[in-house]
Amino acid sequence: MLFKSSQPKDWESVLSKYIIALEHHVAGKRDNELLKLDKWYQTELPILLAKRKPLHIDSKELVKLMSWKLKRGKFRPTLAKQAASNADNDVKAISEAAFAALHQSGVRPAIVKMAELKGVGPATASAILCAGAPDKVPFMADETMESVPGLGTIAYTVPYYMKFADKVIEKAKELQKKGSTVNTPHLVEKALWVEFMLDKYNVSKDEDEDAGPSTAVTKDADNELDDGKATGEKSSATGTKRKRVVVAALKPDDVEDTPEASTRASKKVVTDSIETPGRTRSSTRSRRT
């Protein structure tokens, strides 16, 4: 398990496979739009927010970020509709107050404030804050939470997020002291996501970019995947001609990611099994009904 490692080379090696992991995930999702959205979230949005004073997002950015989150993870149409129902002035005012709270009071108050937006729970709130402050806030993704030991059954609540965030922030500080380039909470959780995906799709950690998934992306999509310098990764455009992924609809998973939904959640626990060639990975989590 990567999280148990204190060696910078281990983290840097895994994070360098981000494009490979993403390509396999896109091939599995059959949704090529995720490539453009991921470049926007990982590179373009952070650059835009870094220049914005006071720091905030607008309603169009919220809708686009929600689209990225749902395509990258589980597709929950209710969230997209709720996020789109927020007035632009509300999004700007609440997100500005949340970013201010982050810098003045810390992560928890910022998450709570951002979650005042409709359709926004701790996970989406963390994604927004992470885009504007990757050095302070890790994104709450299922895959990364499952990759951090000692968290218990996943719950989409502020207390659970803080337990996750505290561990990730501490790991980032540990790696930073050792001179690692994986030195922010965002890069730590991003590396954990890569490890999870390489395992899920049964991809060797030694695989190079040119290998790619059996149905990967085309040259122009490779260019879309160039992470630039916003998050500290190297450009990964290979110029290799590849087949474009066929876009298909995703199976809806209509589960709300809001504080209210978390409160209404039952105590029912189910086991999700992810089958990959030669391996079956099971995880136990709390599902809201």
* Confidence tier at 205 by pLDDT (50, 70, 90): confident
Q: Which amino acid is at 175?
A: L
Extract the tokens encoding 288: 């809201």
Q: Which amino acid is at 280?
A: T
Number of domains comprising the chain: 1
Q: Is residue 247 part of a domain?
A: yes
pLDDT in tens, 267-282: 333 333 333 344 444 4
Report the C-alpha gap between 211 and 262 in whole angstroms.
41
* Confidence tier at 96 by pLDDT (50, 70, 90): very high
User: pTM for the complete prediction?
Assistant: 0.76
Rg, Å, the chain Cα set: 18
pLDDT beyond 60 at 46: yes
Q: Is residue 201 part of a domain?
A: yes
Per the structure, the complete domain to which residue 201 belongs is given by 2-205+215-223+243-254
Q: Which conformational region is residue 232 in: left (phi greater than 0), alpha (psi within -120 to 50 degrees), or beta?
A: left
Q: Is residue 150 part of a domain?
A: yes
* Confidence tier at 76 by pLDDT (50, 70, 90): confident
Among candidate residues 114, 143, 117, the one with its CA nearest the CA of residue 24: 143
Q: Is residue 172 part of a domain?
A: yes
pLDDT beyond 50 at 233: no
Instruction: Measure the CA angle with vertex 258, ends 256 and 263; round to 5°.
Output: 95
Q: Mean pLDDT over residues 119-127, rounded?
A: 98
Share of the chain above pLDDT 90, in %: 69
Say what the pLDDT of residue 40 is.
98
Say what the pLDDT of residue 255 is.
42
Report the C-alpha gap between 171 and 203 in whole angstroms.
25
CB 66 within 8 A of CB 119: yes
pLDDT in tens, 49-72: 999 999 999 999 999 999 999 999
Q: What is the mean pLDDT of the chain?
A: 80
Stretch (H or E) spanning 192:
helix 185-200
Stretch (H or E) spanning 10:
helix 8-15
Stretch (H or E) spanning 162:
helix 158-177
Q: Mean pLDDT over residues 125-138, rounded?
A: 98
100 phi and psi angles, rounded to 5 deg: -65, -40
Q: Is residue 152 part of a domain?
A: yes
Q: Mean pLDDT over residues 138-148, rounded?
A: 97
Q: Is residue 144 part of a domain?
A: yes
Q: Is residue 287 part of a domain?
A: no
Report the C-alpha gap between 279 and 199 in whole angstroms.
9
Cα 134 off chain centre by: 11
* Confidence tier at 209 by pLDDT (50, 70, 90): low
Report the C-alpha gap between 101 and 95 in whole angstroms.
10
Report the C-alpha gap between 248 and 34 in whole angstroms.
12
Q: Which amino acid is at 212?
A: G
Count CA atoms closer than 13 A to 70's CA, side-chain side. Answer: 26
* Confidence tier at 87 by pLDDT (50, 70, 90): very high
Among candidate residues 160, 56, 151, 157, the one with its CA nearest the CA of residue 102: 56
- How is 221-284 classified by DSSP, letter by letter? HHHHT--TTTTSPPP-------PPPPP-PPPP-----SHHHHHH----EEEEEEEETTEEEEEE
pLDDT in tens, 245-274: 333 333 333 344 544 444 443 333 333 333
CB 260 within 8 A of CB 237: no
Say what the pLDDT of residue 252 is.
32
Q: Is residue 74 part of a domain?
A: yes
